[in-house]
Structure 1
Amino acid sequence: MPFGCVTLGDKKDYNQPSEVTDRYDLGQVIKTEEFCEIFRAKEKTTGKLYTCKKFLKRDGRKVRKAAKNEIIILKMVKHPNILQLVDVYVTRKEYFIFLELATGREVFDWILDQGYYSERDTSNVIRQVLEAVAYLHSLKIVHRNLKLENLVYYNRLKNSKIVISDFHLAKLENGLIKEPCGTPEYLAPEVVGRQRYGRPVDCWAIGVIMYILLSGNPPFYEEVEEDDYENHDKNLFRKILAGNYEFDPPYWDDISQAAKELVTRLMEVDQDQRITAEEAISHEWISGNAASDKNIKDGVCAQIEKNFARAKWKVHGPHPVLRLRCSTGAEEISGVPLSGRAKKPACQQAKLLPLRPQPHCCGCPGSCQEGIHQVKGPRGRQGISMPRGGLNWAFPDLAATGFLSCLTFTLYFLAL
């Protein structure tokens, strides 16, 4: 039965687990994300393949909220550049979300495989992302976690479209949003500064994506000692707050002025002055002929392999979801008090170490070729999932965090 018997209100009308297994064959787990496990599913009657995301209710309120949120948002949207919802089942213990299966490659893999890569190729990718985001924004939906890892080619055909995935952090913009979340390297200054924010955060993230695709470098990157996450994020956030990025030679020497101008407008520090997705679609670099057709593959690929293929950036960069209230205060990062707020208590300044950073592809030659990514944590590190705050954190020294953090930590484990 399409969309199962999902009821997200007061009435509890649960599906039976057999309803899922009677209709679908679920394979092994192919990827583990912050809130869910991802399977490849096969519909028994048609043989069609889908992606299945399974959320376990016992993993906590944050997981349940993420599942409900993703269901609500995906049922609202229908766009060619957004991975479409196919089916939903809600049992007493789980949420099952079935989506279209994207069998194409991630954007980085596509670039590395090309014999020729130019600004026009990047413009084509950014145009599709902008069109999808403009559609979301017309519905007052903020994605809040746009990044290269969430952009994938729909299939392996030469002219395959780009699709956006992962909507568990997406939010309806009923007034400005206060809750900070996202992936550190893609966070807008207003999120880092813990200001109220809205749809412009997605445009900032698109600017970061565009910067990377044109140069192979992230606009904000901090080289630190291994495992020094606290200093990495603190220095990274300071640069983001200041809008401290440059079009460094030689990486940007062959990039057109129109491309640089669009990046600058997308990555405008003042969210009120930042270009909108709709306006960006009309920019000459997107809709006109301003994008250069000069081959920039060698330079971009060299930097991609240097910056993104190595495990070091993977470990430091993509904490799946960042909650700034659990890290060093923005006042300390910028050196300027925000809205006259007092300095945060010690429990919010404790040193935090991520137990399970964003998984990355293991490079397996078989399954990855078919769009399935086996997942390994960096250096094989394993961890528990703590839904509170949307992060997987370990507190190495509870004594330093104060009574409140100790109490929170204790209550969490008692609830397991």
Structure 2
Amino acid sequence: MGNSSSKVGFISEPPKKHAYFSFMKVKSNKNKEFGNEFCKTKKQLHLWSERSNERSNMSETRNRHGNKCEEKFRTRFDPRITARYDIKALIGRGSFSHVVRVEHRYTHQPFAIKLLEVGKHKGQDTCHVELGILRRVHHANIIRLVEVFETPHRVYLVLELATGGELLDRVVSRGFFTERDATKALVMVSRGLSYIHALGVIHRDLKPENLLYYHPGQDSRLIITDFGLACWSRKSQMVECDVRTLCGTPEYLAPEMVAGRTYGCEVDMWALGVISYIVLSGSMPFEQRSQPRLFKAILRGNYSFHGQPWSSISNQAKDFIERLLSVKPEQRMTAEQALKHPWLLNMAACSSNKNLHRPISQNLHQRASRASNYSSSSRSVPESRSVVSSRSQSRLDSGQLARIRCQHSVAVYA
């Protein structure tokens, strides 16, 4: 199939340590042997858990076994890749994909290589859409495709490597966080969404884990990653997927997606509203112990601004969230409208400069504790939230979902 035709150049920023990269998640039991041959790494912790100790342990494990893993796994990579890149560590694994950290042999710059298995029909379809989207996008707030290597059974995507950590990690680690800080992050996400929506791309799995800072510095750009579930909207001329598919992470799903209706870029704006709520409070707008209750809450648009730190948050910020968490998609702000909202446009100039770090951190830790207790008492809940991003947690059967949709769709869309 040939070599890359989409090389966009190398990154000028210096390499950083402790890189983390979100990876494609598609439900399957295939490809286990492939991952076992690389090396064993610890599973991702829950989104709301403390991660510093785990990451330190992972780093030590990689350093200790890195050379052994590299030699053992090197033969599984296309010679064109190993001639150009040193394989360093496995940093992510999906059913049809593996993500490894690599270093360019000559520039010594770090990158991530996402290896997609395309031997099966489903893997081919997913890879085709993701690759097509990544080849089209080029924006400061979108993950950048550097080059592509293709073989009859595998596709290797060389991507820029984000080393600055996830959005919420930055919020917690700073020790000081205000509404103005929140607007800086949300402006960058909105710019990225505005760009991909103009191209007709729907991300479909927008969440804090998929928003990564490029480097640890305060001036780092925030980038949207993981287009494994992305698709073209019907408004584009490249419709490659069914825009009625229920996919993504349950807590971030828009009402029209839950209801099984045709949807568009508005589902990403709903997810942006959920993210905005989390960034400002450390809690979820829609949180239930069971998925049927969660979906009912989403369909009804049941959320509130009660508890801390909402009493200290401006009305402009709340209005921004309300205009995104509108049950009717046609009433939701677009990304362009979000960028023109007074709260983002003025960078929260009229908001208080109160430090929200303590209540945000407390709410995040409380949710982590609840989730940990619930996971330990229920075998049906996946151990890692990353698995949930492509399939639902304790998944509803089709009959349950149909009943929920039937009960609420008339009232919601009347």
- TM-score range (shorter-chain normalised) is 0.7 to 0.9
Aligned with residue 221 of structure 1, among 280, 287, 290: 287
**Matched letter for residue 204 of structure 1:** W
For structure 1, the residue ranges without an aligned partner over 5 or more in a row are 7-15, 224-231, 340-416
SS at match of 1:272: helix
SS at match of 2:149: strand
CA contact (8 A) 2:100 2:113 kept: yes
Per-residue Cα deviation, 1:70-112 (whole angstroms, up to 9, x for no partner): 1110111111111100011111221111100111111222112
Aligned with residue 174 of structure 1, among 234, 237, 245: 234
Aligned with residue 233 of structure 1, among 291, 307, 310: 291
Of residues 308-317 and 98-107 in structure 1, the stretch that sits farther from structure 2 once superposed is 308-317
Aligned with residue 139 of structure 2, among 44, 60, 79: 79
Shift of 1:17: 2.0
Aligned with residue 49 of structure 1, among 110, 117, 127: 110
CA contact (8 A) 2:135 2:145 kept: yes
Matches within 5 A, 1:85-124: 85-124=145-184
Per-residue Cα deviation, 1:134-162 (whole angstroms, up to 9, x for no partner): 01111111111100000011101122111
CA contact (8 A) 2:251 2:287 kept: yes
CA contact (8 A) 1:194 1:330 kept: no
Shift of 1:338: 5.5
Cross-structure match for 2:93: 32
Cα gap change, 1:138/1:335 in structure 2, threshold over 3 Å: closer, same or farther? closer
Cα gap change, 1:35/1:253 in structure 2, threshold over 3 Å: closer, same or farther? farther
Per-residue Cα deviation, 1:245-303 (whole angstroms, up to 9, x for no partner): 11112331111111111101101000011111100100111011244321111101111
Shift of 1:33: 3.0
2:291, 2:249 → 1: CA distance? 11
SS at match of 1:124: helix
2:195, 2:155 → 1: CA distance? 27
Shift of 1:63: 2.1
Is 1:266 the counterpart of 2:327? The answer is no
Shift of 1:327: 4.3
**Matched letter for residue 359 of structure 2:** G
Cross-structure match for 2:334: 276
1:258, 1:35 → 2: CA distance? 43
* Root mean square deviation of aligned Cα: 2.3
2:273, 2:368 → 1: CA distance? 18
Shift of 1:5: 6.0
SS at match of 2:157: strand
Is 1:128 the counterpart of 2:188? The answer is yes
Cross-structure match for 2:271: 205
SS at match of 1:336: helix
Cα gap change, 1:81/1:185 in structure 2, threshold over 3 Å: closer, same or farther? same
Q: TM-score, normalised on structure 2?
A: 0.72
Cα gap change, 1:256/1:334 in structure 2, threshold over 3 Å: closer, same or farther? same
Per-residue Cα deviation, 1:389-411 (whole angstroms, up to 9, x for no partner): xxxxxxxxxxxxxxxxxxxxxxx
SS at match of 1:234: helix
Aligned with residue 404 of structure 2, among 318, 325, 333: 333
* Number of residue pairs aligned between Structure 1 and Structure 2: 320
Shift of 1:172: 1.3
2:327, 2:190 → 1: CA distance? 19
Cross-structure match for 1:294: 354
CA contact (8 A) 2:260 2:405 kept: no
**Matched letter for residue 336 of structure 1:** Q
SS at match of 2:125: helix
1:206, 1:261 → 2: CA distance? 13
SS at match of 1:98: strand
2:94, 2:277 → 1: CA distance? 26
CA contact (8 A) 2:205 2:389 kept: no
2:225, 2:95 → 1: CA distance? 14
